[in-house]
């Protein structure tokens, strides 16, 4: 094998965000761009010579080309073995499971998750550690630092394209490559956690599901598990074929972008259960017939019913949620007498808590739910968890949620996103809010009085690391909150996220519309942040 040492220069902006480095495909296609970042990952790691690397992505445009480049770089950098998903495809949770099962040194996941794909769309890359979880901040900071100092990268010279379209073994220089089918391993893991016979019986009794894979990575996993193993009728999985541009759609499972599923679930003769997952398969949206379950409620309901599922029948060690996620799960934790941790946004902050055995379930308001079975959020796992609960309780989705509200109260919750706004305008909004915060204490707005304001910071209870500036919080009495943060995953301008929550113990109010109940607080948020004045936007681009 011929080792090439190729000279390069640092490229600005290779700073990983909430979940890896995400940029337009055309940015990644620039000379040396991908290579620089991959070499920076390797430069930030120690002692991986001869070890195993897991490699795969969500199948979006440029996935296959990037994998061929990374294989040649992994060989030149001294990895002993690379496990690659069939056709270069691995869902994010399956990659996490594979890293753990194969005791790999780590993994490289190629994904921009819920961002649009195709030649005009986004691409992304992130590094996961040997525990299967996203690299923590101290590693992503180091990767960034390496990207700013890089002078050369290593790659072997080899013109042959490794055939990833079939299972099998290859050699590249000294390195061994194995093309694996992760669907089977993943399905087996799910079978260990959930009561498959009970779910089979549920489908057998005529229960109907519609699962929208959004032409993204979960299609093959969902078809195999739901239709083949669990016996849901063929056609229960829609948009099940992964496409490089996700069929032109936006693979983000929410009420705006999963519109086909929403039409079915709110139409005549709607199925009993609806679900969707995102580009890389780590997010989930849960629907009943004519009914939407917010992700914040979903994690609370899973926690409250976990004892019904074989994998969690002995109880939960604790739960964790990202700071902007509603406090619905906190109440369940209190009732169960287990700890509830509040972390910054991004799955990487759950890793230490899971590794230390402090928590079993984790969730984010952004349609992310997961557990200690892997170290990523897991869309299909959440769907199976719901199916297992539905099979045991023999109630409808809406009945389960309403019963939950009756017992714990309802945390009305919404997120308003202002996408692709001017970056400077976004920073002006945050600066304006920061400036006002010291003056807000004890002031009342629309009947809500401010109790506390801060810029959220988190001290990791396991390694004591500190993460600051994680979102501006305005906490009111009666458990109401408004939170502002800027997205760390967008690729165009800036995205301002406004999270609004209010608690209701009044059962008669529980069936009211969320936007209606939260309207006064939404108005307060817009006025305090001067959103229209500073950004020119009169309404959010997406409401979830
Ligand atoms: C968003 C979500 C966050 C999630 C992240 C990655 O980040 O808010 O909760 O962990 O996406 O999810 P941000 O910084 O844009 O708010 V995924 O499915 O895109 O890997
Ligand atoms: Co995702």
What residue owns the CA closest to ligand 1's atom 10?
A: 346
What residue owns the CA closest to ligand 1's atom 2?
A: 366
* Closest ligand (CA of 58): 2
Residues 45-93: pLDDT tens digits? 999 999 999 999 999 999 999 999 999 999 999 999 999 999 999 999 9
Nearest atom in ligand 1 to the alpha carbon of residue 365 is 9
Angle of helix 196-204 versus helix 379-393 axis, rounded to 10: 70
Residue 1 has pLDDT above 80, yes or no: no
* Domain spanning 2-180, CATH class: alpha beta
- Burial of 401-428, coded b for 16+ CB within 10 Å and e otherwise, reads bbebbeebbbbbbbbbbbbebeeebbeb
Residue 106 has pLDDT above 80, yes or no: yes
User: What sign results for the dihedral spanned by CA atoms 269, 199, 401, 189?
Assistant: negative
Query: For all residues of the chain together, what is the average pLDDT?
Result: 94
**Active-site option among 96, 113, 298, 366:** 113
Cβ–Cβ < 8 Å for 170, 162:
yes
Quote the ligand 2 centre to 204 CA distance (angstroms).
31
Pocket of ligand 1 (CB under 6 A): 18-19, 113-114, 278, 282-283, 322, 345-347, 364, 366, 368, 487-489, 497
Task: Please give the average per-residue pLDDT across 245-253, as a whole number.
Answer: 89
Residue 311 has pLDDT above 90, yes or no: yes
Nearest atom in ligand 1 to the alpha carbon of residue 111 is 20
Residue 180 has pLDDT above 80, yes or no: yes
For a mutational test of ligand 1's pocket, the pick from 251, 366, 488, 493, i.e. the residue with the most ligand atoms closer than 8 A to its C-beta, is: 366
Residue 110 has pLDDT above 90, yes or no: yes
CA dihedral in degrees (266, 217, 347, 291; nearest 10)? 10
Task: Please give the average per-residue pLDDT across 180-185, as a whole number.
Answer: 92
* Closest ligand (CA of 278): 2
Q: List the alpha helices (DSSP H) in 409-440.
A: 423-440
Distances (CA, A) of 219 to 11, 158, 212, 222, 225: 36, 33, 8, 5, 10
Is 111 annotated in the active site?
Answer: no
Note the pLDDT of residue 490: 77
Task: Please give the average per-residue pLDDT across 458-466, as a whole number.
Answer: 94
Note the pLDDT of residue 508: 80
What residue owns the CA closest to ligand 1's atom 16?
A: 487
Domain 2-180 shares a fold with domain 185-408: yes
- pLDDT above 90 covers a percentage of the chain that reads 87
Residues 197-215: pLDDT tens digits? 999 999 999 999 999 999 9
Domain ranges in the chain are 2-180, 185-408, 410-543
Task: Please give the average per-residue pLDDT across 521-541, as a whole number.
Answer: 91
Domain at 410-543, CATH homologous superfamily: Alpha-D-phosphohexomutase, C-terminal domain (3.30.310.50)
Nearest CA among 151, 146, 155 for reference residue 9: 151
Q: Provide the CATH topology of domain 185-408.
A: Alpha-D-Glucose-1,6-Bisphosphate; Chain A, domain 3 (3.40.120)
Nearest atom in ligand 1 to the alpha carbon of residue 377 is 18
Residue 228 has pLDDT above 80, yes or no: yes
Quote the ligand 2 centre to 386 CA distance (angstroms).
19
């Amino acid at each position: 094998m011929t080792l090439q040492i190729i000279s390069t220069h640092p490229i600005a902006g290779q700073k990983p965000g909430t979940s890896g480095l995400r940029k337009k495909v055309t940015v990644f296609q620039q000379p040396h761009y991908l290579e620089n970042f991959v070499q920076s990952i390797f430069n930030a790691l120690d002692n991986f010579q001869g070890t195993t690397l897991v490699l795969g992505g969500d199948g979006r445009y440029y996935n296959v080309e990037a994998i061929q480049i990374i294989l040649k770089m992994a060989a030149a950098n001294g990895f002993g073995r690379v496990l690659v998903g069939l056709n270069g495809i691995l869902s994010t949770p399956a990659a996490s499971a594979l890293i753990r099962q194969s005791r790999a040194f780590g993994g490289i996941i190629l994904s921009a998750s819920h961002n649009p794909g195709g030649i005009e769309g986004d691409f992304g890359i992130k590094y996961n550690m040997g525990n299967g979880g996203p690299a923590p901040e101290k590693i992503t900071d180091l990767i960034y630092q390496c990207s700013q100092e890089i002078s050369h990268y290593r790659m072997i010279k080899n013109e042959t394209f490794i055939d990833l379209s079939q299972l099998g073994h290859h050699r590249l220089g000294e390195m061994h490559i194995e093309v694996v089918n992760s669907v089977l391993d993943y399905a087996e893991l799910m079978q260990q956690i959930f009561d498959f016979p009970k779910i089979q019986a549920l489908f057998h009794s005529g229960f109907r599901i519609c699962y929208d894979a959004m032409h993204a990575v979960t299609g093959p996993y969902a078809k195999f598990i739901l239709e083949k193993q669990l016996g849901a009728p063929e056609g229960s999985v829609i948009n099940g074929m992964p496409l490089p541009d996700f069929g032109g759609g936006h693979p983000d499972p929410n009420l705006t972008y999963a519109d086909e599923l929403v039409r079915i679930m709110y139409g005549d003769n709607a199925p009993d259960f609806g679900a969707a997952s995102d580009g890389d398969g780590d997010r989930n949206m849960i629907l009943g017939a004519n009914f939407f379950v917010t992700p914040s409620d979903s994690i609370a309901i899973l926690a409250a019913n976990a004892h019904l599922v074989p994998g969690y029948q002995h109880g939960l060690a604790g739960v964790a949620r990202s700071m902007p996620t509603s406090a619905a799960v906190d109440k369940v934790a209190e009732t169960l007498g287990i700890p509830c941790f509040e972390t910054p946004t991004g799955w990487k902050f759950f890793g230490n808590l899971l590794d230390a055995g402090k928590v079993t379930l984790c969730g984010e308001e952004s349609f992310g739910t997961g557990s200690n079975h892997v170290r990523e959020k897991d869309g299909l796992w959440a769907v199976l968890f719901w199916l297992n609960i539905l099979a045991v309780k023999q109630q409808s989705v809406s009945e389960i949620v309403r019963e939950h509200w009756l017992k714990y109260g309802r945390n009305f919750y919404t997120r308003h996103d202002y996408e692709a706004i001017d970056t400077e305008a976004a920073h002006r909004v945050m600066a304006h809010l920061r400036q006002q915060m010291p003056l807000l204490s004890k002031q009342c707005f629309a009947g809500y009085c401010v109790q506390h304001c801060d810029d959220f910071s988190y001290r990791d209870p396991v390694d004591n690391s500190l993460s600051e500036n994680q979102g501006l919080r305005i906490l009111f009495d009666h458990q109401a909150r408004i939170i502002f943060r800027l997205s760390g995953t967008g690729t165009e301008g800036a995205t301002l996220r406004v999270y609004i929550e209010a608690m209701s113990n009044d059962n008669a109010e529980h069936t009211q519309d969320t936007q209606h109940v939260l309207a006064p607080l939404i108005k307060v948020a817009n006025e305090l942040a001067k959103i229209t004045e500073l950004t020119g936007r009169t309404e959010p681009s997406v409401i979830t």
